[in-house]
Chain A
Amino acid sequence: MAASSLSFSPKTITSSPRPKTNPFINHFSHSLQFPIASSTSRAIFTSPTTSIVPRASSVISRATNDAASTNTNTFHGLCYVVGDNIDTDQIIPAEYLTLVPSKPEEYEKLGTYALIGLPSTYTTRFIDENETKTKYKIVIGGDNFGCGSSREHAPVALGAAGVAAVVAESYARIFFRNSVATGEIYPLESEGRLCEECRTGDVVTIEMAESRLINHTTGKEYKLKPIGDAGPVIDAGGIFAYARKTGMIPSQN
């Protein structure tokens, strides 16, 4: 492409030496301007007062909340198994997107529609009739889970329905990011194709510290990929809670 002949020449990125400090925290605290309202500005440098409650509801043991420590969460319950390319229209169809997740009663309502878009080939309902929550704490999927739209309603609906973790071979990018940002569910990756190893209704345990999934129904164990830095963010309850907890942004009154 003859860029040089055009009136807009490509910008050369000037290389300015930057001090080698912790880029994450420094950049955050020095260059972000937070629009803190006057009523809360006094509280900027006080210690965190917000209690950090994990959204994932089925955590049965939690050794520590220290963001830097190894994640020792364990999830135990029934699993619901789906296939490849479960897109966000299947997780939460567009007709329910008028529900606003930040409104508590609409958040709950979103949960009641989780996975309602699955085709009729799925003969077992994810949420039983007349129930508002699912009895399946863990969803097991194949490749590219959560592909499609950017609707954050998707991880929210799963979390609100009572799902603690999804275990899939791989994730669509925006779904993964939304899961972490909201802290709604743990998007865990399996090393093998667990959606062909497990069946809906199997009893499973996920041990985060061991990066392991145990299927008690079949007696088999499977390796999971470590969740890495995303784990502490979800533990805290999402990016805002994590950022406050670690001092990246001021705590709220």
Chain B
Amino acid sequence: MTLTEKILARASEKPQLFPGENAWVSVDILMTHDICGPGSFGIFKKEFGSNAKVWDREKIVIIPEHYIFTSDERANRNVGILRDFCTEQNIKYFYDITDLGNFRANPDYKGVCHVALAQEGHCRPGEVLLGTDSYTCTAGAFGQFATGIGITDAGFLLGTGKTLLKVPPTLRFVLEGEMPDYLLAKDLILQIIGEISVAGAAYKSMEFTGTTVESLSMEERMTLCNMVIEAGAKNGVVPADTTTFNYLEDKTSLPYEPVYSDEQARFLSEYRFDVSKLEPLVAKPHSPDNRALARECKDVKIDRVYIGSCTGGKTEDFLAAARVFLASVRATFIVMAKRLKVPTFLVPATQKVWMGLYTLPVPGSGGKTCSQIFEEVGCDTPASPSCGACMGGPLDTYARLNEPKVCVSTTNRNFPGRMGHKEGQIYLASPYTAAASALTGYVTDPREFLR
């Protein structure tokens, strides 16, 4: 069996499962947020009764994160609905925010759910995590089965802790070779999606292995798995290893048992990549599989840069951007002051990421933090952690594309209207490429600076 088949077999108490079989799967974690929580609770109450209790108050994680820093009344109401439900059901993991004026006054508030789930120790190898968000697949980075569901399925799960899942066949991606220091996991997944298309893994599992994957940090593995949904996949997985276990060491005390694909496991097909030969990439408007080399787009003039989201708003993503800004100084021997050519918006995924921007020294900077470097080059002040403008959201959302602008973004989707305006053009890119583009005002290969 493959890694994914083994997790589903264990969760359904079956000795063996084959692709295509349907199985009732017990879920270890159900996550929902402020967009889909209220609807899920509504269905739960309607179907199980107004006095019904959830199946397990310790296995439900509820994270307000999408539409938080907005004056939109319905969005604010929806966070209130989460709070009422969590109080009523005594939900153990509810990361509340009450003071919208200052997120730091809310110690419980985390931010973007997929990053928060990892940081708070809810992602564990061998388990099943379902969430009402298509990027729930991010948690596959931990060797976990994780996928997105709708609110009716979530309503059912709230009552039962189980759901019916079809076992997906697995595509294996073997990434080998030394990763050049101008590439990031974002380039790898854009390469793969460009190769197999936005429907290339529909209904399937994507397993990432090979020496390059083994060398990636947890946050980079999360980037890889985050975007499998952009190939239509049901889930993505990276086998757990010492990197995984080390990351989890201070985050969870619960026991977990990783599983691994057998030697004889059957994969639907296998793709191999020599990572040492790849170049920095972008996905051009309006599809994540519209792949191009960053250097091929050097004449594309841009209006802004956005660094944020579950895909590209993690601590290492900001460290990567800072590295490019630093390198640009070394390249020109000119002081850093206000050297960016376009407005550059920073939205840390979570409160922990935000904190890191102000405390962690950037390697090779002589002890400067990301926030100092960002300020010197002229980025906008890092915003309150949330999903921000990645998916547009209410009209007053910070950095929302309210006009038909061209944006280089470290986010995950560039469909028409995704960040707000239907005629807006989004180039998806790695934090390196995003930072390099901010320095020139054009889509720019980061090798221009990282020499």
Contact = CB atoms under 8 A, between A and B. Distances in A.
Interface string A77-103: 000000001010110011101111111
Interface centre among A13, A16, A85, A99 (most CB of B within 10 A): A13
Nearest to B256: A8
Interface residues of A, number: 64
Contacts of A85: 198-199, 287, 415
A89 B415 contact: yes
Contacts of B14: 18
B215 to A, nearest CB: 12
B202 interface: yes
B432 interface: no
Contact of B42 (A36, A102, A150, A178): A102
A35 B126 contact: no
A102 B391 contact: no
A39 interface: yes
B202 A6 contact: no
Interface string A16-35: 10100000100110011111
Interface stretch (B33-41, B94-102, B367-375): B33-41
Contacts of A173: 202-203, 232, 234
B54 interface: yes
Nearest to A176: B203
Contact of A98 (B78, B241, B417): B78
A112 interface: no
Interface in B70-117: 72, 74-75, 77-78, 81
Contact of A94 (B39, B229, B392): B392
A226 interface: no
Contacts of B50: 37, 39
B346 to A, nearest CB: 20
A143 B47 CA distance: 34
Interface centre among A11, A118, A119 (most CB of B within 10 A): A11
Contacts of B24: 27-28, 31-32
Contacts of A8: 125, 240, 245, 256-258
Nearest to B67: A98
Given A6-B245, A15-B16, A181-B152, A98 B74 contact: yes
Contact of A1 (B6, B239, B395): B239
A95 B67 CA distance: 9
B422 A87 contact: no
Interface in B204-231: 209, 214, 229
A52 to B, nearest CB: 14
Contact of B394 (A24, A98, A118, A143): A98
B152 A238 contact: yes
A240 B156 contact: yes
Interface centre among A8, A18, A150, A152 (most CB of B within 10 A): A150
A33 B55 contact: yes
B227 to A, nearest CB: 12
Contacts of A34: 48, 159-160
B15 interface: yes
A48 interface: no
Interface of B: 1, 6, 9-10, 13-16, 22, 24, 35-36, 38-39, 41-43, 46-55, 66-67, 72, 74-75, 77-78, 81, 125-126, 132-134, 136, 148-153, 155-156, 159-162, 198-199, 202-203, 209, 214, 229, 232, 234, 239-242, 245, 256-260, 287, 391-395, 413, 415-418, 422-423
15 contacts: A28-B24, A32-B162, A35-B49, A87-B415, A89-B392, A89-B413, A95-B395, A98-B35, A98-B78, A117-B416, A119-B422, A120-B422, A173-B232, A239-B156, A240-B155
Given A1-B239, A89-B392, A144-B202, 14 more contacts: A6-B241, A27-B24, A33-B161, A37-B51, A100-B39, A102-B41, A148-B134, A148-B229, A148-B415, A150-B136, A150-B150, A174-B134, A177-B150, A177-B153
The 10 closest A-B pairs by CB, nearest first: A102-B42, A37-B51, A15-B15, A152-B150, A150-B148, A37-B49, A178-B150, A98-B74, A181-B152, A144-B199
